[in-house]
Amino acid sequence: MPNLETDSKLVSDEYKYGFETVIPQDSFPKGLNEDVIRALSAKKNEPEWMTEWRLKAYRKWLKMKEPRWADVHYPPIDYQDISYYSAPKRDAANAAEIDEEMKRTFERLGVPLHEQNALAGVAVDAVFDSVSVATTQKDKLAELGVIFCSITEAIHQHPELVKKYLSTVVPTGDNFFAALNSAVFTDGSFCYIPKGVKCPIELSTYFRINAVDTGQFERTLIVADEGSYVSYIEGCTAPSRDRNQLHAAVVELIALEGAQIKYSTVQNWYAGDDEGRGGIYNFVTKRGHCRGKNSKISWTQVEVGSSITWKYPSVILEGDNSVGEFYSVAFTNKKMQADTGTKMVHVGANTKSTIVSKGISAGQSRNSYRGLVHVLPSAENARNHTQCDSMLIGDKCSANTYPVIECENHTAITEHEATTSKISEEQLFYIMSRGIDEESATSLVVNGFCKEVFKELPMEFSVEAIKLLEIKLEHSVG
């Protein structure tokens, strides 16, 4: 029988994205004040309204207190000890060319920036530290009227769209980190899918934190106009360092009548070393708004990195018959901490939501699910089904579940189920009796446990997620 009780030595799995790119950086000195924000805004050549918008958010942020209610522990963050802008220096002469070094970086990460090499069917926006370095497949998208570019570009070229939708889902003063992000966000992606267009290729953003002592504050806005469809993929990595870095992103999704947005994330930020030193603080606000009738927003996330993850991709189901989905796998190992889950707010009639959350804790990690299902009095016939399962590998980790269900409509039906248990010894025994070693057996059981979520991912991504989990699980038994 496999002996899981014994000290499960979680030998450092190789974090193959932990390399650093040596490249001249153009960074701001550390510190945050109104001048920094003005300078940042000027650097990006932003219009006056944007600068004002940032300053307003900053002033709100000053009055806010950092929330501490999550089940995560970390030393206080010194917001003056972070550089709020860092970008690879570009040669003034050929500014349009992407630096060779950076190209290599993204190639090592498996993100092809050359369009000819591009994985067929995926358009990529790559964000390196604070700025977007390249967006591929633009022309193909332009034919359909799809706008996919960095948010900075959108502010310049599509200000009317940005003005109309930015911060309408996550207001600037929504929470401490959203306010900070609004004040200092540097880049991110912007997508607009026009009426009736089914985006034929997957849109993808790859985020990379490279420089030391920087924070990455990305801002993503996706608008799916009436009857349109888009699938969006996000991936993240960072070099291994022994200092913590802050990543505070805001992602807003807006689905108008009959529109569908599928948002998938594989988050593999550097998670710190075995002693819990270093790693990314991933404090993210993600929220979708099903604004129109019959719209649908689906979040799928695979969280395997970051020393601390704190995020709740949510859906506000306002349009009648709208659908919200949340599929999540959160894997924690070593001294990682994850407090993640979702919020489904049912406003419209016949709204439906599904939540499937799979938590796997190993090592000395803490893994919490926190969720809210709120059925407002107006949500006739609302329906929710929630399932969250936790699996424990080793006896020093913890798994917590904190769901909140609030029901104010008598025609609504909500169901919530949660289980926590050890990886099944019987299943392991069965697989091992077929001649498969313990590590592979564990990996198989864990993959089976996560299957419901993986099958929601786009195909290539799903394969990658399974591989990723396998690597993360290496040495976590025995």
Partner 1 sequence: MTTINLDQAFTAALDAARFQDVVTSTPDASIRAKRQAAFDAYQTIPMPTARDEEWRRTDPASIPFGDFDLLPALRPVAAGAEQELDTLFDVVVTVSERGYHITDRSGLLKSGGLVVCSLDEAAHQHAEAVARHVHGPALIEPNRKFTELNGAFWNFGLFIRIPAKAEIGKGVLVRYRLAKNQALLVPKLVVVAGEGSRANVVEVFESDDACPVLCIGARELYVGQAARLQLFGLQEWGRTSYHIGEDWAQVERDAQIDWVTLTLGTKVSKMTMGCDVRAPNANAYLSGLFFANRDQHVDQRTLQQHSAPHTYSNLLYKGAVKDQGHSVYQGIIAASPGAIKVDAYQMNNNLVLNTGARADSLPGLKIDADDLKCSHGSTMGNLDPEQLYYLRSRGFSDAEARKMLVLAFFEEIIAKIPYEFLQERIREDVHRKI
Please report how close the Cβ of residue 323 comes to partner 1 at its closest, in angstroms.
19
Pick one of 246, 336, 412, 441: the residue that binds partner 1 (CB under 8 A): 412
Pick one of 3, 12, 45, 419: the residue that binds partner 1 (CB under 8 A): 419
CB nearer to partner 1: give 271 or 397: 397
Q: Are 291 and 255 in contact (CB under 8 A)?
A: yes
CB nearer to partner 1: give 149 or 373: 373
Query: Should residue 9 be labelled a site residue for partner 1 when binding is judged by CB under 8 A?
Result: no
Exposure pattern of 31-55 as b/e (b: 16+ CB <10 Å)?
ebeeebbeebbebbebeeebbebbb
Please report how close the Cβ of residue 384 comes to partner 1 at its closest, in angstroms.
9
- What is the Cα 469 distance to its own chain's centre? 17
- Total number of residues that touch partner 1 (CB under 8 A): 37
Query: Should residue 466 be labelled a site residue for partner 1 when binding is judged by CB under 8 A?
Result: no
Query: Should residue 64 be labelled a site residue for partner 1 when binding is judged by CB under 8 A?
Result: no
Report the amino acid identity of residue 461. F
- Map the footprint of partner 1 across residues 370-399, applying CB under 8 A: 375, 377, 390, 392-399
In whole angstroms, what is the distance from residue 289 CA to residue 455 CA?
24
Query: Should residue 350 be labelled a site residue for partner 1 when binding is judged by CB under 8 A?
Result: no
CB nearer to partner 1: give 4 or 57: 4
Please report how close the Cβ of residue 411 comes to partner 1 at its closest, in angstroms.
6
Query: Should residue 98 be labelled a site residue for partner 1 when binding is judged by CB under 8 A?
Result: no
First to last CA, the chain: 11
Please report how close the Cβ of residue 393 comes to partner 1 at its closest, in angstroms.
7
* Dihedral sign of CA atoms 277, 278, 279, 285 in order: positive
Exposure pattern of 249-272 as b/e (b: 16+ CB <10 Å)?
bbbbbbbbbbbbbbbbbbbbbbbb
In whole angstroms, what is the distance from residue 62 CA to residue 183 CA?
11
In whole angstroms, what is the distance from residue 61 CA to residue 174 CA?
10
Q: Which stretch binds partner 1 (CB under 8 A): 283-291, 295-303, 306-314, 400-408?
A: 400-408
- Map the footprint of partner 1 across residues 163-192, applying CB under 8 A: none
Pick one of 414, 442, 462, 476: the residue that binds partner 1 (CB under 8 A): 414
Which pair of tokens denotes residue 353? 């939501």
Pick one of 66, 81, 417, 460: the residue that binds partner 1 (CB under 8 A): 417
CB nearer to partner 1: give 190 or 326: 326
Q: Are 209 and 241 in contact (CB under 8 A)?
A: no
In whole angstroms, what is the distance from residue 24 CA to residue 128 CA?
13
Indicate left, alpha or beta for 306 from its phi (over 0: left) and psi (-120 to 50: alpha): left
Which pair of tokens denotes residue 304? 């395997």
Pick one of 51, 168, 240, 420: the residue that binds partner 1 (CB under 8 A): 420
Query: Should residue 411 be labelled a site residue for partner 1 when binding is judged by CB under 8 A?
Result: yes
Please report how close the Cβ of residue 379 comes to partner 1 at its closest, in angstroms.
9
Exposed/middle/buried for 450, CB within 10 Å: 0-12, 13-18, 19+?
Answer: buried
CB nearer to partner 1: give 217 or 449: 449
Query: Should residue 69 be labelled a site residue for partner 1 when binding is judged by CB under 8 A?
Result: yes
Q: Which stretch binds partner 1 (CB under 8 A): 47-55, 92-100, 291-299, 411-419?
A: 411-419
CB nearer to partner 1: give 40 or 338: 338
Q: Are 162 and 183 in contact (CB under 8 A)?
A: no
Please report how close the Cβ of residue 285 comes to partner 1 at its closest, in angstroms.
21
CB nearer to partner 1: give 258 or 394: 394
Q: Are 315 and 287 in contact (CB under 8 A)?
A: yes
Query: Should residue 400 be labelled a site residue for partner 1 when binding is judged by CB under 8 A?
Result: yes
Please report how close the Cβ of residue 369 comes to partner 1 at its closest, in angstroms.
9
Which pair of tokens denotes residue 59? 């002033």
Please report how close the Cβ of residue 72 comes to partner 1 at its closest, in angstroms.
14
Q: How many other C-beta atoms can be found within 10 angstroms of the C-beta atom of residue 196?
A: 13
Which pair of tokens denotes residue 143? 């034919």
Query: Should residue 418 be labelled a site residue for partner 1 when binding is judged by CB under 8 A?
Result: yes
In whole angstroms, what is the distance from residue 110 CA to residue 16 CA?
11
* Residue 261: its H or E element: strand 260-267
Give the footprint of partner 1 on this chain (CB under 8 A). 4-5, 69, 375, 377, 390, 392-422
